[in-house]
A and B are shown apart, each in its own frame.
Chain A
Amino acid sequence: MEFDFRNRDYGADHESHLLPRSRTQNHPLSSPIASRQQQARTVRGSSDLDFFDPLMGLNASAEEKVEEEKDTSLSIEAVTQDLAREWKSLKRILMQHFPVSKVISFSPVSNVITKGSKVETPSAQPRLEETGSEQTSLEETAKVMDQQEYLAKVRELIDGITNAWQVEDRVTSLKLSIKVTKLLMDTTVLQFYPTVFVVVTDMLDMVGDMVWERIKEKAEHDVDGTLICTLSNNFQASDICLEARETCYNWFCKVGSVRELLPRIYLELAILPCWRFLVNQPREVLDRLVMMVRGLADPLASVYCRLYMVHRMQKLGFCNSGYLIKCIKDIEDILAPILVDKDGCSYITDDKKLLFNLMEPAIEYIMKCLLLTGRQENNVLGMLEELGFGKNKSQSSDNCTHVSILLHHLLKELPSELVSSQAMEILHMIKCSDDCSFSQVLNYRLLGIRLCEGRSQADFLSALISEVMQAASQYQTLYDYLRIMDAYVDLLLQNKMENHLDALLDNIVYLARDQFLSEEEQASLQSIILKLLSHFEDLQKVLSLNHFIEILDLMSGTSKKIVNMHLLNMGTRNGCICDSTTVQLLFEVSQGLYDATDFVNIKDDDNRQTSHLISRFVEMVDYGAERERQLLFLAECRGAFSGIHELKETLVRSSNTLAVKSLKAGKMHINFVKSCLAFSEVTIPSVTIPTKQLNLYLETAEVALLGGLISHSDGLVISAVECLEDVAPTDGLKSIDVDSMASVVCKLCSLLVMVPGNPEKGVMKILKSIFSATCSSSWAIPRLKVKILCAIISLLSTLSQDNLPYRSANPEIIGNDILFFGDSSYKNELVSWAQLVVGELVEAIEQESSQIARGNIALEACNYISSALIMNEKVSQLCLRLLETAKVCLGEKDRYLEATKQSLQL
């Protein structure tokens, strides 16, 4: 018995399978946004906010921030906590930032260490000291010690301190502490100083705590250990019993009897908090200590000593800005002679540079402390005045020079609203302070950065920026100029100061003339350009800026690449690119990017982004009615960017789009359509991924069909089929995505519904080729094969209908239904093909190794067959066989199986 195709009413089938539909008012995806807006409105309207949606409008949170900022005074606790954290990080920075070369030679001061860490009893002290003087002369000759060794010995000594304390031998403890502290007197190995500082101050903090605890214990308990009182956190000196006060004073006496200034100061600082047991207002003590530090002439030692002082003042809980200001003024005085040499000229040497490097963390910490304290006292402005900052220019014309390193760190810590309000004064200070302790350029730059943070008023900005620009151009070097102005670009843009912007660009071009830009300059310039790009919405506006193109040409290397990527991104984000000059520029930009990237060998994210950007650019270019020119452009791109695979697809699509557009425009363009098709046809083979290639062929074939160019479309379809045959078996199955392959072949089959059969070459020639390619190819695994064969069966069934479900949009193309109407040989051929395919199908199902997959494809095939063929005996036998297979594989209870059975009515 022969197969017989069912008569299908595709329209009715479609209707019956449609899901019920109902109208809706809102777009399902837009509703959350709408409700969020509503919510925002209600929240803002009501006074009490008990729910705050974090995703809600940003404006509301911004308002809150303003309020926070207004309240600049800080609580003491917050400051203390802040600084405790700062101290910890400072210690880490000191330890990490100043690594020391492995071997260090030490001066005789470190004899403490080399003499050995034996704990001497007090009585033995004088004798040892006598012998010590003899030893020094010997030891002075060669003292080379490893840093680690040195630190190990210090730690040994520190262990000695705790051990002695634990056995109540406090005299020894103190003596060892003095010894360790004396290490800080040695600044011969500069880079090592911070490390020693951290180790020694850790020890001092520990000793300070131990003394504090001991005196507190004495104040709270009497000799027998019975509790006298419990000291609250804010106790008064009068709460302390005489005994404890005696002990406390004794400690100060002992520490005060140390001859050397530096250890005496450090040790008093260590037990500084204990002054609270003796006096309520240790004002005088702090005044004196601040002054005492002045006696240390070594700049590094004295700055670090002040650092420790500030830290301990915090611990005492009595740190007001007055002391800090004095400290900073003293530091200024100490730095002054270093800045200016005897000859009166100031130049930087490596030693000085190192010195300032070492001092910087300490200065930074003290400044931080000052500003925090100032904010807590709510008197930042007064504090600045006291420091001599922010004075009127007329008042102190000669006295306004400040050491630039101090100025830098002050500016860094100032509250931003103050930076804005005092900007002019700060600028003048920066102008005046040009010394080797810190780069003036960076100070100018910092001012700009700080100004950007705050909201500055435009009225003085213009004057300020012209002054900055003037100052910056005086440097005569591009790098300095760029570094400074980079910080101000945002200000220029935000405040719409076009004339300044023009001047800036002019200057850049002027300074960069006849120069090859160094890497640093490139980076700065890049930053400026990116700021420009991100500010302007429209690429056109950027390009119309003075000298912009010239400046772009200055760039090279990675900076150029980054700028180019931004340019491309910007050019393509606002829809079509119609302007020919823009297109030209972006084409050059793309070319630059392309040349700078190795697309063949390296495949990373960066490259992917570049190729994506270029492809997107090509896609966005729109010449409008000048289609020929656009096609030319596409050809140009194909030549220029031959290494980008992603682009090929874009090119084909674009040329297809062009073809369709010109078809729409009228019939007279048929030659242009042909050239578009030719372009696509030539381009497609270079697409590497087979499924994509296939898709593109089909797409182009469709366009050709639309244009009524049957021979073209035939050619393209045949190419597609050839491509199917040629899918490189070497790539193996892995490289082919089974599902996409299946869908491509399905698409091919559906296209074939429209393509009129060619009686000369045989109506079924293409189908035959697909079939044989599928059966013979190695890439088609059984599952894929089944899908393709099912699609062919559907196609055969469709072709057998008297009315095709769809036809080409071009009325000149006549469908097979009309072409072969009433042709029985045509129908017979279809039937015989169906038989062949079904046979192959059943075989393919048997080959599937996975049970579940086999069951499912059997059911699928069964459904296809039953919908395509009239259920006569042969067909039902076939179906039953397939159902049996499915039952074996999936079990009787499978729902798909049951549903299939039901629909078959078997």
Chain B
Amino acid sequence: MAILKVSLVTMILSILNFNDMRKLLMFSMVIMLFAACKTAYYGTTANVVYLSGDRETISMRSIGIGNDEQNAQAGAEISAIEVLFFRGLPNSKQKDPLISIDEESTKAKYSDYFNKFFNQGRYRTFIISSYAVTSLEKVDNKTKSMAVDVTVNLKALRLDLENHGVIRKFGY
């Protein structure tokens, strides 16, 4: 793909009548670097995989994004819990989302709960352990990522959602 881009740029420049071959090459290199830097990065990708679990806890490996280790670790924890809430984890006992697939309306409906839970750090009380398994690695110029193993107290999390009326208790 990059080769194609270079040849395209070279073609355009030849049409534009660049006489100095060195200038032409340098210009092509700059354009090529610019194209390479434009690789899209989607920060909202879940990047959470199931590791193990029992009736009361669930362990996941989650990728966190942030400027430093602390931010990346927090990002990984939030990402893991959000996947449990709104997506569910294939191959785990929590295949279905704990709350609903529709996170936008759920978050809007229970905005107080989610504000306290995520923004004020209440989610941390449901995390049994959280260990970084890789060092902070560069994703692009601005962002860095880190893999974290997160274990969540699933039973307590479900009870909390029930007590706050976000999900209904078993039964009618």
Do A and B actually bind? no
